[in-house]
Amino acid sequence: PFTKTNINKIEKIQKKAVRFVYNSYGRTSVSDLLNRAALISITEINRVSRLKFLYQLVKGHFKINLDGLISFSSGYSTRQRHNLTITPFTQRNNCFKYSFFPRTVTEWNQLTNDEVLQLSLTSFIGSLSAQ
């Protein structure tokens, strides 16, 4: 989910679940319980999943032709850009704006060169989780 309303609904369920797990329904902080359980927020899980899938696409883990889907920016790498910078999509309406590629490409382009050039999927996910 990308709308704040739906994210809040899912996080509310997650908070109720962590209260149930620790049997703590009083005035204890839910944030402390979430940290103690080492639960990751829904938005972070979705972000890592999207970037993981795009990493697999870019690195050729799937037999999908990327010519019609994405195009890499020409130019050279700078501090703000890495070697695998993808040309952002232009959208005129919200139905495409919040779909997979426009959202994920902007997040992908904000990654550092070290994160994008990880050799394995596991190390890529680890570098995302380190943020």
* Residue 72 bridge partners (DSSP): 86
Q: Are residues 16 and 74 in the same domain?
A: no
- The counts of H helices and E strands in the chain are 7, 0
Domain that holds residue 84: 43-129
pLDDT in tens, the chain (131 residues): 778 899 899 999 999 999 999 999 988 899 899 999 988 888 889 999 999 999 999 999 999 888 888 888 877 666 677 888 898 888 777 778 778 888 899 999 999 888 999 999 999 999 997 66
Q: Are residues 58 and 121 in the same domain?
A: yes
Q: Are residues 122 and 61 in the same domain?
A: yes
Q: Are residues 27 and 72 in the same domain?
A: no
* Number of folded domains that form the chain: 2
Q: Are residues 62 and 100 in the same domain?
A: yes
Separation CA 23–CA 85 (nearest Å): 47
Q: Are residues 50 and 30 in the same domain?
A: no
Separation CA 64–CA 57 (nearest Å): 7
